[in-house]
Amino acid sequence: MNVRSAVLSLLSIRPHQIQELIEKLPYSRPAIYATLNGLTGEGLIEKRRERGRVIAELSDRYEAQKLREIYIKSLSSGIDPDILLRESTLKVWRSISIEETKSLKEIKRSTGLSYNWVRKIVGFLLESNLAVYKKRKPVLIVMNKNHEVNKLLKRYTSTRKEDLRIYYSGTIPFEIISETPEMLEKLLYQKIDEGFSIKGTGLLVRGKEKLSIMESTEKELTNEESFLKKIETLEGVEDLCIRLIESEKIDYDKLLELAGKRNMINMVGCYLDILNSIKKVVPASIIKKFMKNISKRRTIFLKPLKRYGKEGWEKEFEEKWNVNLYLDIGAIRHGMGSI
């Protein structure tokens, strides 16, 4: 284990006086000081004075706290965190975790590493029980999804391909963020000094600038998946879906494909048509594509408003799109007026 990993290992267990680190670890004083300065520069550790002695401890930043969990769990599992967190190891780890099974040649192609280096790293992952054999001849490797270190690495390395933040200006500016638990955990560390609220928890943290309203989702949603999820809610049809359209981040061909798989073409096409009747926000060609794919199965849109009855404007759209409409057109107009 190198000096950096050794220092992080001890600081993951508890804060240490710098002199303690020098006495406990088999590295030179200059090497430990240089490592501490480097880790401080990276924002991973902080130094404080206590009774005339300098104490080093992990910072409260997300990356530092996640590294602490990985180091503790790795060490207690007999896994060298130094080897585990090398970029070459993580490349192989990511490659295996993407698909159900992978051969050594497939891992070599996806990582750009040499065959011998891939074989060495795979051997480490197998020995650590982070990966297991799916088949030995030919060799096929699968990730051990139940291993706690793999779960921690997944959170630590999580990234999002698309930005699903919707910003709202106004007297009290705010943004709505839909994220997986892994990504939301990162944001909690980033937003702790700002204003935020987490849907479903009742937690509201006041801040000086904009408010972030964060929603936890089971899996990473594309903009189109997010649209289909929100269109079945009051806040979605009256505001959030309108914001997504206004953001110009919707791929309408993907939206049509997904809506077809979920039997939602009539509902989505009708909604887009209603919006266009108020203000042209969607190309007419998109409406025509949805029209060509209307289902004969009549759907209800939006059931939670059924108890309030209808206003009379709905008939034209109901017949055109084969839906049973329960929408508040006034609320939708208001939403459209704010963009």
CATH code where residue 121 lies: 1.10.10.10
DSSP letter for each residue of 95-135: HHHHSS-EEHHHHHHHH---HHHHHHHHHHHHHTTSEEEEE
Element (H, E) at 56: strand 53-58
> Is residue 106 domain-shared with residue 54, that is, in the same domain?
no
Query: Is 21 a member of any domain?
Result: yes
Query: Is 39 a member of any domain?
Result: yes
Query: Is 270 a member of any domain?
Result: no
Residue indicated by tokens 């009708």: 270
Domain boundary among 43, 60, 77: 60
The number of folded domains in the chain is 2
Please give the chain's pLDDT, 339 residues, in tens: 889 999 999 999 899 999 989 998 999 999 999 999 999 999 999 998 888 888 999 998 888 988 999 999 999 888 899 999 999 999 888 888 766 677 888 888 888 989 899 989 999 999 999 988 888 778 788 888 889 998 888 888 876 545 555 555 544 456 777 777 777 877 787 777 777 888 778 778 877 767 777 877 777 778 898 899 889 888 888 888 888 888 888 899 999 999 999 999 999 999 999 999 999 999 999 999 999 999 888 888 877 777 777 788 888 999 999 998 888 888 888 888 766
Task: Quote the domain boundaries for residue 20.
Answer: 3-60
Query: Is 284 a member of any domain?
Result: no
pLDDT at 171: 46
The answer to whether 52 and 141 have CB atoms below 8 angstroms apart is no
Query: Is 330 a member of any domain?
Result: no
84 CB-near residues (< 8 Å, 6+ apart):
70, 74, 128, 149, 153
> Is residue 150 domain-shared with residue 113, that is, in the same domain?
yes
For the record, the structure tokens of 132 come out as 């297991």
